[in-house]
């Protein structure tokens, strides 16, 4: 299910808790340089860079050079693929809860 993004797997990119934290961090700001991102994690700059590279491959993060530093920002568009996939299950569970509610009301 790669859809519009043949190079990176959005599902695999968000499967890791560190990368989900990176996405959340970048969602709150316009962009951040790598050295500032690294301060939010208990790992080195190289490890954070590797996680950002995976997010970049999945097109979830954009990077731009400003002098000697690299700044990162979130590109949330690929997350729509996950939202679309989950929307089916939202309807599935709503239907199940309606049926459960009816059964519980019958028992009262």
- Looking at CATH, the fold of the domain delimited by 10-77 is given as Arc Repressor Mutant, subunit A (1.10.10)
At 1 the pLDDT is: 41
At 5 the pLDDT is: 45
Within the chain, which residues score under 50 in pLDDT? Answer: 1-6
At 89 the pLDDT is: 86
In angstroms, the first-to-last Cα distance of the chain is 45
At 57 the pLDDT is: 96
Q: Which residues contact 69 (CB under 8 A, 6 or more apart)?
A: 33, 34, 35
């Amino acid at each position: 299910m790669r859809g519009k993004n043949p190079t990176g797997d959005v599902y695999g990119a968000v499967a890791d808790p560190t990368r989900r934290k990176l996405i959340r961090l970048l969602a709150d700001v316009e962009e951040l340089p790598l050295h500032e991102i690294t301060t939010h994690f208990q790992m080195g700059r190289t490890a954070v860079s590797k996680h950002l590279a995976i997010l970049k491959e999945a097109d979830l993060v954009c990077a731009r050079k400003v002098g000697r530093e690299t700044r990162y920002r979130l590109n949330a568009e690929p997350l729509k693929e996950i939202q679309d996939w989950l929307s089916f299950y939202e309807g599935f569970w709503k239907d199940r809860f309606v049926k459960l509610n009816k059964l519980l009301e019958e028992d009262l």
